[in-house]
Structure 1
């Protein structure tokens, strides 16, 4: 109720699969009195609006059906939304169990076949297969650091890796390529800092206390 035309067209001609036929009753006056909803001006107006829109129709006395109560809930904008209480139907509806992992394995089986020679870390169900981006991998690395109670951004992790390679005497161009830096000035300006070891200083357990920036 209250759905736009797109939703109404999308669900048109669909039905609920029932395990067994729900109990259908004739709309006798006595039965309808048992289902009577609490009278209120808001409910009365809502029923009138639904009848004017053709959503509610008067049932035929000879046509049995499933009947339920109706109630109103408030919407965020202050309006009211009519709701039919169809909980009693749940015991008769055949609900499908969702096995998402097994479905994913089945659907992606063709995409993971040896003939395709997929080299991606993750295989999507649809679309073009693409390797994980550097930003995504950096996020995974950061998550691992966070689990170790270390709060570090992907950028600082990249800097630490570059510093380690510099100490290992790796070529500068290799460091730039691994860090996705475009030019040597980026590394020398922002990441390569000259330090000195003060003479006659007392050694500290903290490495950065043993040096000072020039």
Structure 2
């Protein structure tokens, strides 16, 4: 998968990576399964607008969903899940959890689309509220293991 919008740090020499999604053993967390479901469910709507984008509008004439619309969907899902966070803070939380789970710093930087370790450490690495959940992060299965950045 390749993002259409890229990131704020993209320039002529550096572009946000694409993603290879890997199947998760828990279907509720399996991005491959849910991506296929989304495409299948919206197949008729996609055909009428001849669209290949993953996210398309749900109302009105079919067209690619804008950044603003996608951001609104994410905020709504987070709110419905009881998560008081912005999409940007989720990026920080995932990266911080990966750091606590001893992911290699190069992998954290690549996954978060950061070029400098200093940027991650200064602006994004955070203490997590529930760090004491086990203090044994070897037992957790990070969802980051199911997303592989590709260039």
Is TM (by shorter chain) over 0.5?
no
- Higher Rg: 1
Q: TM-score, normalised by structure 1?
A: 0.30
The structure carrying a bigger helix percent of its residues is 2
